[in-house]
Chains A and B, each alone.
Chain A
Amino acid sequence: MTKGVQNIKWQLPVLLLAWAAVFWPVLPPMVETWLGHSDNSHALLVPLISLYFLWEKREAIRLVPVQGSIPGLTLLVASLAIYFVSYAGGIAFFARLMLVAALIGLLWSCLGTAMLRLLAFPLGFLFFMVPIPDTLLGMVAFPLQLAATRISAGLIQFCSIPVYREGNMLYFLQTQLEVAEACSGIRSIMSLTMLGVIFAYISPGSGWRKAVLILSAIPVAMLANILRVSGTGVLAHFFGDRVARGFLHEFSGLAVFMFGLALLFLIYRVLKARDAG
């Protein structure tokens, strides 16, 4: 065992501890955001998924030579500078992005470019744990919310059920439904995109097919959400608005997510089969 490799055993934990200490002010609020805002709950799984992919590479890691990297050190310094300015300026989003960027810079600078290439996916995947700012989320969620309501109203009318739409409200003869921000489908888009990235990573196919797989998560999530809103509307017409609340609402959310996941898996299998062919 070389001296450099021996040193890693104590140097790397020291550096990771220092990194955690530097970013400690943004860590607990970020976890609170994961727990407190359902749009970000998928982020809870991100560190675990990253650790899993890291664990999978444990044999390969031992074979990669360890060396320092000037570009890595530059990335570390730049990330820490942006983090400091963002933290002082109260911009949580950039501060949280730099948490991941600085970790990449740290490992790159101390372990070298070959190691970074090996760890690129587990490290890059950590960006999924950074919650998207509410203002940015709103900019995407509002048009999606309106589109979901508009298309669902059309589908419900197609089922010969009279419905009147006004903004995000659906008015039936006996009841009314509000397509809330949470029903915009943005949550499904984020979680299914994350899963699309995992599928793309484990899929042996070519680059463009991986891109198709990741991008297909967006229409799949939108379709699943429209089916959920339309289904809820049809049920509300026959059984009242209690179907839009409580257990049935939660269950339909889960069922529609599973449908989206199944559709994504189907696309993955089709692309894989085409690549094999």
Chain B
Amino acid sequence: MSNKFFYLALLTLLLTAGLILSVANRGVPRVLHTNLENLPMEIAGYQGREDSFDQGVYDALQADLHVYRQYRSPEGEALGLYIGYYGTAKGGRTGHNPYACLPGAGWGIIETGTVEVYPSYYPQGVKVNYVVAGKDGVNNVMLHWYQTAGTRVLATGLQQNIQRFKGRVLHNRNDGAYVQVNALVPEADIPMARSKSKEFVREVMELLPRHWPVEG
């Protein structure tokens, strides 16, 4: 073996080892306070109550924290709120998404797209995903998005991956949450459910940064 190549390769490896060691010394932050469970039980005039999934769902999702609630307006309109939070140690995101999980549960996806929501930290508006799925004559109107770093709202998994990468390199933190608001309605009520969900989502977005988990 040529000494020149041996020493060049060894030098490169040792240099990388030093860099890796310096990054490894930063450690992986742990979730100290999840906080999201302290979101108010009253949001946008809707009153909430806790709900739960089957254990199998929690086992599949493997989040650090699940918030699952049913909110009801005084007029009787119901909205479901689900938040799955993943700390930096869990990579900040879920491996599941509604476009796969809904058909898996027997729902047929009828419509997909995005809608704009206007929380105070995005005065120009921010896009979230919009899905309508149907099963046995019931329509599931769903708005969902990924939230990271408290105030970052991202519609797609790709955007979230880029944000996670940047957050981890620059701040050693890439925790994130999958947030979903849904309403089960007959077909005629879809436009109204979409509009009410948008308003509810705006309120949830206002609350999330104040209740964002603490890692350290």
Q: Which residue numbers of A lie inside 8 Å of B, CB to CB?
A: 4-5, 7-8, 11-12, 14-15, 18-19, 21-22, 25, 66-69, 73, 76-77, 80, 83-85, 87-91, 106, 109-111, 133-135, 137-139, 142-143, 145-146, 166-169, 181
Contacts and interface: CB of A to CB of B under 8 A. Distances in A.
A156 to B, nearest CB: 17
Contact of B1 (A18, A19, A111, A139): A111
The 7 closest A-B pairs by CB, nearest first: A167-B106, A68-B5, A166-B106, A142-B100, A134-B95, A18-B13, A89-B165
Interface stretch (B15-23, B68-76, B140-148): B15-23
B142 to A, nearest CB: 16
Contacts of B45: none
A15 B174 contact: no
B103 interface: yes
B100 A84 contact: no
B9 A22 contact: no
A198 B156 CA distance: 38
Nearest to B135: A166
Given A84-B19, A90-B168, A167-B104, A76 B12 contact: yes
Contact of B23 (A67, A88, A110, A138): A88
A168 B105 CA distance: 6
A198 B163 CA distance: 39
10 contacts: A11-B1, A18-B14, A68-B1, A68-B5, A76-B9, A89-B166, A90-B164, A111-B1, A166-B135, A167-B103
B9 A73 contact: yes
A125 to B, nearest CB: 22
Contacts of B106: 166-169
- Most A CB atoms within 10 A — which of B5, B20, B169? B5
A111 B5 CA distance: 9
Interface string B166-183: 101100001000000000
B118 interface: no
Contacts of A90: 88, 91, 164-165, 168, 174
Contacts, number: 112
B124 interface: no
Nearest to A19: B13
B104 A4 contact: no
A18 B105 CA distance: 49
B168 A88 contact: yes
Contacts of B3: 7
B57 interface: no
Contacts of A4: 1-2
Contact of A77 (B1, B12, B19, B88): B12
Contacts of B14: 18
A66 B174 CA distance: 45
A87 to B, nearest CB: 6
A265 B88 CA distance: 45
A86 to B, nearest CB: 9
A142 B104 contact: yes
Nearest to B93: A135
A135 B157 contact: yes
B6 A15 contact: yes
A21 B157 contact: no
A18 B13 CA distance: 6
B19 to A, nearest CB: 5
A138 to B, nearest CB: 5
Given A91-B165, A110-B5, 19 more contacts: A8-B1, A12-B1, A18-B10, A18-B17, A73-B5, A73-B12, A77-B12, A80-B12, A83-B20, A84-B19, A84-B20, A89-B164, A106-B9, A138-B100, A142-B100, A166-B106, A168-B104, A169-B106, A181-B60
